[in-house]
Structure 1
Amino acid sequence: MKQIISLLFVLITLVGCDTSLMVQSTGVLRDASRKFELHNGDRRIIYIPMRHLGTRVYYDQIQAAVDSLQKSGYVVFYESIAYQVDSAAQRDLYDRKFRKLTGNRLGLQQCIETPGDTSRVLRAPLYRKLGQRIISQPDYSFFLVDYGTAVNADIPKNKLLDDFEYRYGAIQLDGCDYDTPLSAPYTCKPIKTALKNKFDKEFVMQQREENLASLVADAPQQKILILFGTSHFKGFLRNLQARDPHWVKIK
């Protein structure tokens, strides 16, 4: 009987927030000890693979690492696709195009109170049972990044969308796209899956990895600390070594 009750509890939790059951397999509960180190003669790179969800301890560890490495001369190159637009109306239009492309795939964000709010935990009860405090990635100011020297090594979201439209044509919005508030569940007709996959692969992944590698390769800094998504490291390294095969991964 207890087994049946437990199974029902798991199923109810799965329906309420299906990602809660996979938290341990996603690496969310790991610590921040993993780093990649590269060198090319006198130049050094440390790449800290960032996760957009983690424990408070995980982000505290990254904060300590960033603070220490900056004091030893490393300059931060960070990930941020923040918009560079002139008006709220432009941002609204880009947001609707982005939603059309991605289908508003919130994923884990569905379980978060407010992105960037480090005082809130996930609602799912299984997380609390694990005894871990799961939060979304804080702003870079939390990590004590020195904005006076740091470099945004990413591509604005509006440029990614512009480049996509230049290559594959305009993202056509319909009445449903305009009438549905950005904060509401998205039930409009999505864009073709093939185009969605092209955006993910060619722009969200490849273009940003090529851009990061280009900026790092041409940068004057001798010691660079990269704060970028975990899934981008392999593509970044491949592009960096294509530009200069003398870059060697030592850790």
Structure 2
Amino acid sequence: MKPRLLITTALLFILCTSCLNLSLRAIGAYDTKAEPKAFTNNKKTMVFIPMHHIGLKEFYDDVHRLTDSLHNEGYIVLYESVKTKDSLTDEQKKILNLKLRKMVGVNIDTIGYLDTVNNRLMGRRFKNRKGLINQPHPRLMGADFSKDRVQDVPFNKLIAEYESRYGEIMLNPCDYNLRPHEKYECGKEPDDQVNAIIRGYREESLAKGIMEEENDKIVVVYGALHEWGLYKKLQALDSTWTRVIKPN
């Protein structure tokens, strides 16, 4: 390889790696403390703990501390998880995973976004110098499922809702032949339609779950990007919902 081409290639690699780290920092992946937000409609109080799906162990330990403290104050916790609860054949799971990839544009592995064994982040090579981990199971962050619960839409039902609104997700040979860690270039579904389901539909389901919950003290442990959408969905159901001083 010519020296100039070698230098250019090296610079591009550094730039890509730098951009990835900047993106991770922007989404809070390197945060060590959670920043809960509180909302009320004068009947219920909802504490939203913004999550990211990869982060530092210190961050998830802090979420555990917060949920323990709020449990002691009488709160129940609602968790995010699109894991399917229905019995599916291996072929059904395969097709659903391919359709989900076509919606979001990346392969969502069962181990999470970060593969610490093969040093890959969403399929890309990644040097994990900071010790990032995948978001732990709720039980490892203080979940008590004798009272807490998952309040979300399983991904098979998300896909069913998507197809009922926009038509069947049509898979092509590229979808079937592309390996899990290869870059997805098989024709992604439109972003506005995907966001209407992956964010809007789930936020609407979560808002209804909050409104129907008998306990008037509720913690929501959900991805940070859902905070504003959830707030607007709650206000659509009850205009008295408002932001209050965040808890300690």
Structure 2 length-normalised TM: 0.81
* Structure-2 separation of matches of 1:24 and 1:15: 14
Show structure 1 runs of 5+ residues with no match.
Answer: 1-5, 116-121
8 Å contact kept, 1:17–1:124: no
Q: Check 1:10–1:227 CA distance in 2 against 1; reply closer, same or farther (3 A cut).
A: farther
* Structure-2 separation of matches of 1:20 and 1:38: 32
* Structure-2 separation of matches of 1:110 and 1:145: 22
Match of 1:36 in 2: 37
The answer on 1:70 being equivalent to 2:64 is: no
Match of 2:46 in 1: 45
Match of 1:3 in 2: none
The answer on 1:189 being equivalent to 2:190 is: no
Match of 2:95 in 1: 93
* Structure-2 separation of matches of 1:59 and 1:9: 35
Match of 2:145 in 1: 147
* Structure-2 separation of matches of 1:241 and 1:96: 35
Deviation at 1:23, TM superposition (A): 3.2
Question: Would you say how many aligned residue pairs link Structure 1 and Structure 2?
Answer: 231
Q: Check 1:105–1:90 CA distance in 2 against 1; reply closer, same or farther (3 A cut).
A: closer
Matches within 5 A, 1:1-251: 11-15=12-16, 18-87=19-88, 88-104=90-106, 112-113=115-116, 124-125=126-127, 128=129, 132-181=130-179, 183-186=180-183, 189-191=186-188, 195-251=189-245
* Structure-2 separation of matches of 1:23 and 1:13: 15
Deviation at 1:185, TM superposition (A): 1.6
Deviation at 1:91, TM superposition (A): 1.3
Aligned partner of 1:70: which letter? H
* Structure-1 separation of matches of 2:75 and 2:117: 31
Deviation at 1:97, TM superposition (A): 1.1
Show structure 2 runs of 5+ residues with no match.
Answer: 1-6, 119-123
**CA deviation string 1:46-72 (max 9, x = no partner):** 110111122111111111111121122
Q: Check 1:233–1:15 CA distance in 2 against 1; reply closer, same or farther (3 A cut).
A: closer
Aligned partner of 1:246: which letter? T
C-alpha RMSD over aligned residues: 2.9
Q: Which moved more, 1:61-70 or 1:38-47?
A: 38-47
